[in-house]
Homo-oligomer: A and B are copies of this chain.
């Protein structure tokens, strides 16, 4: 199933940008009248009819809408310190999008070797991964911020987990998720402010209603968090979690954690 992306939607019509138009018209040779599938990146699949096969800016009529296309029953924010080798981070972003993630938050720890990250490549990459894995929602990529700022800004209501290597009692991701399900089944309040609202004042995916649990997992850099960062997180109610006995690279730990959440719902 070939899927295009558009954020230029006006009522019953939409326009594909230059890149998508060229792919649709030049590469796939679609013509006026052809049926095409478009995601709005906010969770909805739009079944359309191509009305103007302009390879520089194609337009289409929206025939029907499929909200919650490829959605998952939780909202997951993965706050992961960028790896020294950026390929590994981009690989994580692509795989996490396939499995299911809503917000990618690059965070810079005190021990991070990489202090800067350009998000443009990540944004292109998760958009293409969302189309490839048939998801209506494209993960939101936040601007880099310090681990400390991220910890302080995280909403109290969200279920927050931090993975680090220090000694001390830790939960498993499954234990924490079990707690969420118990709360949900007991009619507990899961009306949580999505991280993206907190961080950007704007929520990308309308399908990610706050009626699903809001989960955030914080993964440190190669050199782990500083004790101060870890203490701050614990003092703010973050649950220390273990990902098991294996010693995992940063990007592997992040994907294992995202997979454990995916498997838990």
Contact = CB atoms under 8 A, between A and B. Distances in A.
Interface of A: 70, 72, 91, 95, 98-100, 132-135, 173-174, 244-249, 252, 255-256, 259-260, 262-263
Given A72-B246, A98-B252, A259-B260, 19 more contacts: A70-B245, A70-B247, A95-B252, A98-B246, A98-B247, A99-B246, A99-B252, A99-B256, A100-B246, A132-B249, A133-B248, A133-B249, A135-B246, A173-B263, A174-B263, A244-B263, A246-B262, A256-B259, A256-B263
A52 to B, nearest CB: 30
A259 to B, nearest CB: 4
Contact of A246 (B70, B174, B244, B246): B70
Contact of A134 (B174, B247, B252): B247
Contacts of A95: 252, 255
A263 to B, nearest CB: 5
Query: How many of these chains are in the complex?
Result: 2
24 contacts: A70-B245, A72-B246, A91-B91, A95-B252, A95-B255, A98-B246, A98-B247, A99-B246, A99-B252, A99-B256, A100-B246, A133-B247, A133-B248, A133-B249, A134-B247, A173-B263, A174-B263, A244-B262, A256-B262, A256-B263, A259-B259, A259-B260, A260-B263, A263-B263
- 8 smallest A-B Cβ distances: which pairs? A259-B259, A134-B247, A133-B247, A98-B252, A260-B263, A256-B259, A98-B248, A95-B252
B91 A246 contact: no
A224 B80 CA distance: 33
B91 A249 contact: no
A146 B91 CA distance: 29
A259 B133 CA distance: 19
A174 B177 CA distance: 15
